[in-house]
Chains A and B, each alone.
Chain A
């Protein structure tokens, strides 16, 4: 039986970690909204800073939405392992018999579900405000959904590396932003292609490839980084 409590399999541990993180997220609903509010707020700054002209805005909208969503996702990464590190539950995670890579992945999945996915859902709404040309809204959401999964995976490596450092926030962005560039390029590329009426399949396929590669490799790097941060 899968549900025997005494001996937890890998899948049970994965689900338990995911559920625990989800519960914790729901208990702090304010924090849950923060990336979205940040996203909307920064998007608001651009028409004020550049121009309210819809023609200008529609030109920069794809890149602007993607960069802002990327920054919002980055902002929430610092807390990914931070609270667990502070209260010691990260050490418990290390002591479990299940591989740390899988449990780390569960935490990343939770992070994506509560940050990347909501950002992808909200993005079209902000796209309307930025006069994003019609026909690219679905692609914007889709590219953000796939892309932010890679962003969470790659970002978690940096979060795991800096969790032991007192003020790791700025350092985290220095480590992670260069690695985000491919995702940004293909994410914006997909939206731009949809606007121009070109094929979007190539861009989405590349985003998918980046996601597959990071899904394969990132958990091991996350596990190794967590071990370094905790054991020294």
Chain B
């Protein structure tokens, strides 16, 4: 069991094995996102209050879920990097950050677009929008800090520390912001209780959420592979790889 996990710490092993996993995740994510999109946009019933505008939920909620999950995954990868000095974990953390920032932006933007028909305004300082905006700043901070160091190793370590500090703060920020603004509708679905939405509405949402997660995994694998090649360019096995390809 442990040797199996340890093998993934080797860039070469990761590169070879992720090549096999990657197509699987791409296909599943494509399938789920296409299914979820068609189902959500065309077949799910319109909301009795919001009409068709509620269908933004099928992009908004998965993006928001994913943005938060990416920060946690990034912090976990950073922890693995700091504790066990596994370089692949740092590469994964590096490639996750821009994706997380983009997802946060997608969630914010779709939220703003959704705000026009429902609240009649593009922006409202409500708890969840504000938390997401802060999350965006946290992502930007991690990206900027990594880029600010001349040496890549220092940048990696510094960004790892910041990611871990950030992940401890995210729940604190979230609850303190919730305390201050209590305007938004309650959480869309929780893991413990049944959602308030009818099944035919939230089932496509679930499909979309899973599709987004698979997309994230596939993209992270792909970008980590690129990062491995970029950093290990002088290693024997990478050179051999290029020789073969030529």
Contacts and interface: CB of A to CB of B under 8 A. Distances in A.
Given A179-B169, A185-B180, 15 more contacts: A161-B158, A162-B145, A164-B149, A171-B145, A171-B148, A175-B144, A177-B137, A178-B141, A179-B166, A181-B176, A182-B172, A185-B177, A189-B179, A217-B168, A232-B153
A164 B157 CA distance: 13
A178 B137 contact: yes
Contacts of A182: 169, 172-173, 176
B67 interface: no
Interface string B65-91: 000000000000000001000000000
Given A177-B137, A178-B141, A225 B173 contact: no
Interface residues of A, number: 27
A74 interface: no
Q: Which 4 A-B pairs have the closest CB atoms?
A: A182-B176, A228-B157, A178-B137, A175-B141
Report whether over half of chain B's contact residues are helix, strand or loop; otherwise say mixed.
helix
Contact of B162 (A175, A181, A229, A232): A175
A162 B141 CA distance: 12
A221 B149 contact: no
Nearest to B136: A178
Contact of B151 (A177, A206, A232): A232
Given A161-B158, A182-B172, A210-B172, A221 B144 contact: no
B168 A168 contact: no
A165 interface: yes
A158 to B, nearest CB: 8
A228 B138 contact: no
Interface of B: 82, 134, 137-138, 140-141, 144-145, 148-149, 151, 153-154, 157-158, 161-162, 164-166, 168-169, 172-173, 176-177, 179-180
Contact of B137 (A174, A186, A213, A232): A174
A186 B176 CA distance: 8
Contacts of A206: 176
Report whether over half of chain A's contact residues are helix, strand or loop; otherwise say mixed.
helix
B173 A181 contact: yes
Contacts of B177: 181, 185
A189 B180 contact: yes
B136 to A, nearest CB: 9
Contacts of A157: 161, 165
A122 to B, nearest CB: 26
A157 B158 CA distance: 10
Contacts of B166: 178-179
B165 A221 contact: yes
A174 B141 CA distance: 6
Contact of A162 (B134, B140, B148): B148
28 contacts: A157-B161, A161-B145, A161-B158, A162-B148, A171-B141, A171-B145, A174-B141, A175-B141, A175-B145, A178-B138, A178-B169, A181-B134, A181-B173, A181-B177, A182-B169, A182-B176, A189-B179, A189-B180, A206-B176, A210-B172, A213-B172, A217-B168, A221-B161, A228-B154, A228-B157, A228-B161, A232-B153, A232-B154
A138 interface: no
A189 B145 CA distance: 31
A142 interface: no
A221 B167 CA distance: 13
Contacts of B168: 217
B165 A179 contact: yes
Nearest to A221: B165
Max chain B CB contacts within 10 Å: which of A174, A213, A225?
A174
A42 to B, nearest CB: 21
B140 A174 contact: yes
A168 B180 CA distance: 31
B16 to A, nearest CB: 31
A165 B148 contact: yes
Contacts of B137: 174, 177-178
A153 to B, nearest CB: 11
A171 B165 CA distance: 16
B178 to A, nearest CB: 10
A162 B147 CA distance: 12
A25 interface: no
Interface string A163-196: 0110010010011011101100110010000000
Contacts of A213: 172
A185 B127 CA distance: 12
